């Protein structure tokens, strides 16, 4: 759920997934053989009788309507809640009443969990109390598995090293540099505070394993007034193999306000990240 503060806590356990891509452009599409999809999206109120109070609006604009499996009727479900869904498609049709050219997919829902969403933290805010806030936001490495724009979000799936019996809360944030001008590009840095749970010495590296987490950052605030899109550069520092050192990495793309169509496809952070799952073994991360 949305957290308007500038940090969040997470206690993660290992997640392992295997993906293959699949085309979903056909007007009618059916899934067989036990395969399923995973997608990010937001809950959307729908009149679907007693089956489900909400549909899921995927980041590409398509709508997932639950007809089988898990109903979306739990108490915490609210309009616009960010979710991560695992489902199979049992039928589809063009959505003639909704977004032009989008699809309604009728689905069997297997699993649904909320994804914590946040706004970026401005560097100027950190500078107001630099000693305390820089320390709290942290400078520990974080390994990005994937990062992409979807809907109004920058979605990040990441790995961090934790011990098997970890009870340490890790804090993660996205910092927007609003102090130094970078022409028209917005620079954002993924930051991590491990609160001391990090494999700094050779003797303890074998006690750590990779845990996986997810977060979506709402980037609507970074687009200047009067514009629909802005170039974005994402920067982060991650561990090298076997925690032998660190390396700074970056990726870039054009962030476009949801509902417009100016984004350049297949470039950097611009991608469609709904994927078909052939096999999946998963243990959930707990996020707060």
Nearest to residue 220, comparing CAs of 137, 119, 85, 93? Answer: 119
Contact 85, 39 (CB under 8 A): yes
| SS3 assignment for 88-99 | EEEEEEECCCCC
- CB atoms under 10 Å from CB of 190, counted, come to 22
Backbone angles phi, psi at 131, to 5 degrees: -60, -45
Question: What's the whole-number average pLDDT of the chain?
Answer: 79
Backbone CA torsion sign across 197, 199, 203, 206 = positive
User: For the domain that residue 214 is a member of, what is the CATH number?
Assistant: 2.60.40.2370
Q: Residue 97's pLDDT is what?
A: 64
Looking at residue 277, its pLDDT comes to 56
C-alpha to C-alpha distance for 182 and 247, rounded to whole angstroms: 22
281's enclosing H/E stretch is strand 275-281
Residues 93 and 135 in one domain: no
Residue 54's pLDDT band (cuts 50, 70, 90): very high
Helices (H) then strands (E): counts for the chain: 2, 18
171: Cβ–Cβ under 8 A, 6 or more apart, which residues? 7, 8, 9, 136, 137, 138, 192, 193, 195
Confidence at 5, pLDDT banded by 50, 70, 90 = very low
Q: Which of 15-29, 52-66, 145-159 has the weakest average pLDDT?
A: 15-29
Q: Give 124's Cβ-side CA count (13 Å radius).
A: 4
Long-range contacts of 69-75 (CB under 8 A, 24+ apart): 69/107, 69/108, 69/109, 69/110, 70/109, 70/110, 70/111, 70/112, 71/109, 72/43, 72/109, 72/112
pLDDT band for position 47 (cuts 50, 70, 90): confident
Residues 123 and 101 occupy one common structural domain: no
pLDDT at 76 over 50: yes
Residue 266, token pair as written in the block: 């297949």
Which residue range(s) make up the domain with 174?
8-15+116-271
The answer on 124 and 109 residing in a single domain is no
Question: Which residues partner with 249 through β-bridges?
Answer: 236
pLDDT band at 272 (very low <50, low <70, confident <90, very high): low
Residue 40 Cα to chain centre, angstroms? 7
d(CA 62, CA 201): 48
Q: What is the mean pLDDT of residues 263-268?
A: 50
What's the pLDDT score for residue 81? 96
pLDDT value of position 260: 59
Q: Are 176 and 218 in contact (CB under 8 A)?
A: no
257 lies in a domain?
yes
* 183 lies in the same domain as 231: yes
Whether residue 131 sits in one domain with residue 109: no
pLDDT tens-digit readout, 120-175: 999 999 999 988 888 899 999 999 999 999 989 999 999 999 988 888 889 999 99
Phi-psi region of 131 (alpha: psi -120 to 50; beta: other; left: phi over 0): alpha
107 pLDDT more than 90:
yes
Residue 195 falls inside a structural domain = yes
Query: Which tens digits make up the pLDDT trace of 177-233?
Result: 999 988 899 999 999 999 988 887 555 666 888 899 999 999 999 999 999 999 999
The residue-averaged pLDDT of 277-282 equals 45
Domain count, the chain: 2
* Structural domain contains residue 31: yes
Percent of the chain with pLDDT over 70: 73
- Residue 259 and residue 150 share a domain: yes
Q: 53 with 91, same domain?
A: yes
Lowest mean pLDDT among 87-101, 204-218, 235-249, 270-284: 270-284
Mapped onto helix, strand or coil, the DSSP state of residue 78 is coil
Q: Is the pLDDT of residue 19 over 50?
A: no
């Amino acid at each position: 759920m949305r957290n308007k503060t500038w940090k969040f806590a997470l206690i993660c356990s290992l997640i392992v997934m295997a993906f293959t891509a699949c085309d979903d452009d056909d007007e009618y599409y059916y899934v067989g053989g036990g395969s399923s999809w995973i997608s990010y999206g937001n809950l959307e109120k729908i009149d679907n009788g007693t089956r489900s109070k909400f549909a899921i609006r995927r980041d590409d604009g398509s709508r997932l309507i639950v007809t089988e499996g898990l109903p979306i009727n739990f108490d915490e479900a609210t309009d616009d809640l960010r979710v991560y869904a695992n489902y199979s498609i049992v039928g589809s049709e063009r959505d003639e009443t909704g977004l032009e050219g989008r699809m309604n997919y009728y689905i069997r829902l297997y699993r649904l969990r909320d994804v914590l969403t946040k706004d970026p933290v401005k560097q100027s805010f950190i500078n107001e109390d630099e000693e305390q806030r820089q320390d709290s936001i942290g400078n520990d490495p974080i390994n990005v598995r994937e990062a992409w724009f979807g809907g109004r979000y920058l979605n990040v799936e990441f790995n961090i090293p934790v011990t098997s019996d970890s009870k340490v809360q890790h804090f993660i944030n996205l910092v927007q540099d609003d102090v130094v001008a970078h022409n028209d590009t917005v620079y954002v840095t993924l930051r991590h505070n491990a609160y001391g749970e990090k494999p700094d010495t050779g003797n303890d590296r074998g006690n750590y394993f990779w845990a996986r987490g997810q977060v979506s950052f709402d980037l609507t605030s970074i687009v200047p007034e009067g514009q629909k899109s802005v170039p974005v550069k994402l920067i982060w520092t991650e561990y090298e193999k076997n925690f032998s050192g660190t390396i700074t990495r970056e990726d870039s793309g054009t962030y476009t306000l949801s509902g417009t169509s100016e984004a350049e496809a297949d470039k950097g952070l611009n991608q469609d990240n709904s994927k078909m799952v052939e096999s999946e073994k998963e243990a959930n991360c707990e996020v707060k």
